[in-house]
């Protein structure tokens, strides 16, 4: 296993277009998280899954955002009708569901989204 | 809302100097974690502190968890240019396993 993979690494899109990002977690990790990060700031929680169930969504996640993890493996994050304020690094992380607050997350390298 | 506040937000020092980064909250956390992030990459876990008053060492890095489990510090001895990066503290409110992060401390170590 090579860790958490995110695709694409970079995405430039025009305002109003839809974009979709993919995350492949570490195979034995049940939990998968999405975060958004702007330059020089800490990651902000967006949503997380345990297996295929989406357990929590942040208020930051507007109706334009949707995330899925259909078979409890990879996950996708879709942003519809992108706005310039959506420009950020989107980070995916995974963890075991055994006290992840003690064992920590493994993050992917992120997808850098630029909306022009 | 359980917030984690880090200070300072930005630190620029010369190679060989010592530094301390602080992470504070008004809430109690069962554990706190420290991550380091390089530009264009995701954060990488450095350490988890669990017990109030705990001190952990990782080479030149010393991590401490406050007795009341509301704060933590990261001390770097004899900083090197390779220590440059964004340092993040994180904790999980309640038992959800969802981490919240501080705003980060950007460290620049000049040769």
**Which tens digit of pLDDT belongs to each residue from A71-82?**
889 999 999 999
CA distances for B40 relative to A55, A84, A89, B43, angstroms: 28, 20, 9, 10
pLDDT of amino acid B92: 82
pLDDT of amino acid A60: 78
Cβ–Cβ gap B104/A40 under 8 Å: yes
For chain B, the residues whose C-beta falls within 8 A of a C-beta of chain A are 4, 6, 30-31, 33, 40-45, 48, 50, 86, 88, 90-92, 96-104, 106
Pairing outcome for strands B100-101 and B105-110:
unpaired
Of B88, B92, B98, the CB nearest to A56: B98
Site of tokens 């930005």:
B10
In terms of Cα–Cα distance, which of B8, B47, B50, B44 is closest to B29? Answer: B50
At A19-43, the pLDDT tens digits run 999 999 999 899 999 999 998 899 9
Q: Round to whole Å and give the CA distance between A88 and A91.
A: 9
Is B41 exposed, middle or buried (CB count within 10 Å of its CB: 0-12, 13-18, 19+)?
middle
Whether residue A58 is predicted with pLDDT greater than 70 in this model: the reply is: yes
Inter-residue contact B45 to B32 (CB < 8 Å)? no
Inter-residue contact A23 to A4 (CB < 8 Å)? yes
**Cα dihedral sign for A108, A114, B1, B3?**
positive
Q: Which residues of B touch A59 (CB under 8 A)?
A: none
- What end-to-end distance do the CA atoms of chain B give, in Å? 40
Give me the half-sphere count of Cα atoms (radius 13 Å) on the Cβ side of residue A88.
19
pLDDT of amino acid B79: 97
At B13-38, the pLDDT tens digits run 999 999 999 999 998 888 899 999 99
Tokens describing residue B87: 């340092």
CA distance A96 to chain B (A): 10
Percent with pLDDT over 70 in chain A: 95
CA distance A80 to chain B (A): 24
In terms of Cα–Cα distance, which of B102, B64, B106, B65 is closest to B83? Answer: B106
What value does the mean pLDDT take over residues A2-12? 95
Q: Which residues of B touch A102 (CB under 8 A)?
A: 30-31, 48, 50
Give the number of beta-carbon pairs within 8 Å between A and B. 70
Chain A residue closest in CA terms to B92: A101
pLDDT of amino acid B95: 65
At B53-93, the pLDDT tens digits run 999 999 999 999 999 999 999 999 999 999 999 999 999 87
Chain B contact probe: residue of A42, A46, A59 with most B CBs at under 10 A: A42
pLDDT of amino acid B93: 75
CA A52 to chain centre: 14
């Amino acid at each position: 296993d090579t860790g958490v993979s995110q695709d694409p690494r970079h995405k430039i899109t025009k305002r109003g277009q839809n974009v979709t990002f993919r995350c492949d977690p570490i195979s034995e990790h049940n939990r998968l998280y999405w975060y958004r990060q702007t330059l020089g700031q800490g990651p902000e929680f967006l949503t997380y899954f345990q297996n295929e169930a989406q357990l929590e969504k942040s208020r930051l996640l507007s109706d334009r955002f949707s995330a899925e993890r259909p078979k409890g493996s990879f996950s996708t994050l879709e942003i519809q009708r992108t706005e310039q304020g959506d420009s950020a690094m989107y980070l995916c992380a995974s963890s075991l569901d055994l006290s992840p607050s003690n064992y920590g997350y493994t993050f992917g390298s992120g997808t850098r989204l630029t909306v022009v | 809302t359980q917030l984690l506040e880090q200070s300072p937000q930005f630190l620029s020092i010369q190679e060989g100097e010592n530094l301390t980064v602080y992470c504070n909250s008004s809430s109690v956390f069962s554990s706190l974690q420290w991550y380091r992030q390089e530009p264009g990459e995701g954060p990488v876990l450095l350490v988890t502190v669990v017990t109030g008053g705990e001190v952990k060492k990782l080479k030149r890095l010393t991590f401490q968890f406050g007795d009341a489990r509301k704060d933590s510090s990261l001390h770097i001895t004899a900083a090197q240019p390779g220590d440059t990066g964004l340092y993040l503290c994180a904790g999980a409110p309640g038992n959800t396993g969802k981490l919240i992060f501080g705003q980060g401390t950007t460290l620049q170590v000049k040769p």
